[in-house]
Amino acid sequence: MASGNAPLDITNPLSILDHAGGVLPSNPAALAQTLANPTSALNPQPDGTTSVTTGGGLSTSLSILILLTVLTVAPSLLIMTTSFTRMVIVLSLLRQAIGTQALPPSQIIVGLAMFLSLLVMAPTFERVHREAIVPLQQNEIDQLTAWTRAKEPLRDFMFAQIEHADNWGDVMMLLEYRGVKKQRHEMTRGDVDMLTLIPAFVLSELKVAFLMGFRLYLPFLVIDMVISSVLISMGMLMLPPVLISLPFKLLMFVLVDGWHLVVGGLLNSFAVATPVIG
């Protein structure tokens, strides 16, 4: 566990809890004694009230509040460091390109994106489990070491996607904003911390997702233009082109096995994460 003198790492939930007042007790014996004798943790206050404190000196209610805050942020942090962003954006743009504003429903889009993300991230999560969680459960490493080991597979995955899309410009922009002056050929992965890597990865994923969405839009745009031209030539100006083009879009999408092509393209668009030293 990080000590009170260690620098605060806002991307490390354990570091946040530790600097907040030692919510995670470092002395299990003291915790057991407190649980066995609850009155020993009662601190009389000058106003006549009594507060319950943990071994770190932080009130229990505030400890729970901080813990719940960390747990609330954790899903967002996990989403931002996985393939979910690209998946859900591409599938949403596909729905808009077809012209069915409510079909498939948003729940289906998010659910499909989530399970596809689990499929893509399975090797990374297995590595996290093997290198960090199992040793921690067997008391071979402490919590800080487990966090360090757990974030390395995620870092390798994010770096792999940035390099595959050649989006190092986002990393350099963020590093330059933070005052780090280095050329691209001088940079190593070790020079990029999580506070810089995560937003750079999200920007890279947004760029890739929008490019894929643009390619998905093109065939449907052609159908819309053809239908509009036909309606104008027939003098049917009051008939909405979208109403006529939608069945043709659905027919084309089904005939070319569109879902298979889109999902296959999404899965193949991710680079394989390889550990790199430095």
Enclosing domain of residue 204: 81-268
Asked if residue 276 belongs to a domain, the reply is: no
Q: Is the dihedral of CA 129, 132, 133, 138 positive or negative?
A: positive
Residue 152's pLDDT band, with cuts at 50, 70 and 90, is confident
Report, as an integer, the average pLDDT of 194-212: 88
Asked if residue 277 belongs to a domain, the reply is: no
Answer with the one of 77, 96, 113 that is the final residue of a domain.
77
* Cβ 249 vs Cβ 103: under 8 Å: no
Residue 1's pLDDT band, with cuts at 50, 70 and 90, is very low
* Cβ 40 vs Cβ 182: under 8 Å: no
Statement: residue 135 has pLDDT above 50: yes
Answer with the one of 31, 62, 77 that is the final residue of a domain.
77
Asked if residue 275 belongs to a domain, the reply is: no
Q: Judge if 73 and 103 occupy the same domain.
A: no
Report, as an integer, the average pLDDT of 148-176: 84
Statement: residue 97 has pLDDT above 80: yes
Three-class SS state of 192: coil
Could you give the number of structural domains in the chain? Answer: 2
Residues whose CB falls within 8 Å of the CB of residue 225, separated by 6 or more in sequence, listed in order: none
More confident residue, 6 or 226: 226
Q: Judge if 98 and 115 occupy the same domain.
A: yes
Report, as an integer, the average pLDDT of 157-163: 87
Q: Judge if 228 and 175 occupy the same domain.
A: yes
Asked if residue 274 belongs to a domain, the reply is: no
Q: Judge if 126 and 198 occupy the same domain.
A: yes
Asked if residue 21 belongs to a domain, the reply is: yes
Asked if residue 95 belongs to a domain, the reply is: yes
Residue 210's pLDDT band, with cuts at 50, 70 and 90, is very high
Tokens of 4: 């009170």
Position 9 scores a pLDDT of 58
More confident residue, 68 or 165: 165
Q: Judge if 249 and 233 occupy the same domain.
A: yes
Q: Judge if 254 and 150 occupy the same domain.
A: yes
Tokens of 252: 């084309």
Q: Judge if 108 and 46 occupy the same domain.
A: no
- Alpha-carbon Rg for the chain, nearest whole angstrom, is 26
More confident residue, 226 or 48: 226
Statement: residue 35 has pLDDT above 50: no
pTM of the shown model: 0.68
**Among 22-31, 55-64, 162-171, 216-225, which stretch is predicted with the lowest mean pLDDT?**
22-31
Tokens of 75: 């899903």
Q: Judge if 120 and 199 occupy the same domain.
A: yes
Q: Judge if 16 and 100 occupy the same domain.
A: no
Q: Judge if 59 and 163 occupy the same domain.
A: no
Position 159 scores a pLDDT of 87
Residue 46's pLDDT band, with cuts at 50, 70 and 90, is low
Which is nearest to 245 in space by CA: 215, 220, 214, 213?
A: 220
Position 174 scores a pLDDT of 82
Q: Judge if 13 and 139 occupy the same domain.
A: no
Asked if residue 200 belongs to a domain, the reply is: yes
Statement: residue 216 has pLDDT above 80: yes
Answer with the one of 77, 106, 123 that is the final residue of a domain.
77
Statement: residue 171 has pLDDT above 60: yes
* Cβ 118 vs Cβ 267: under 8 Å: no
Statement: residue 266 has pLDDT above 70: yes
Q: What is the pLDDT of residues 238-264, one digit of tens each?
A: 777 777 778 888 888 888 888 889 888
Residue 57's pLDDT band, with cuts at 50, 70 and 90, is very low
Q: Judge if 160 and 32 occupy the same domain.
A: no
Residue 11's pLDDT band, with cuts at 50, 70 and 90, is low
Tokens of 94: 């596909």
Can you give the length of the chain in residues? Answer: 278
**Among 99-103, 121-125, 203-207, 219-223, which stretch is predicted with the lowest mean pLDDT?**
99-103
Position 4 scores a pLDDT of 47
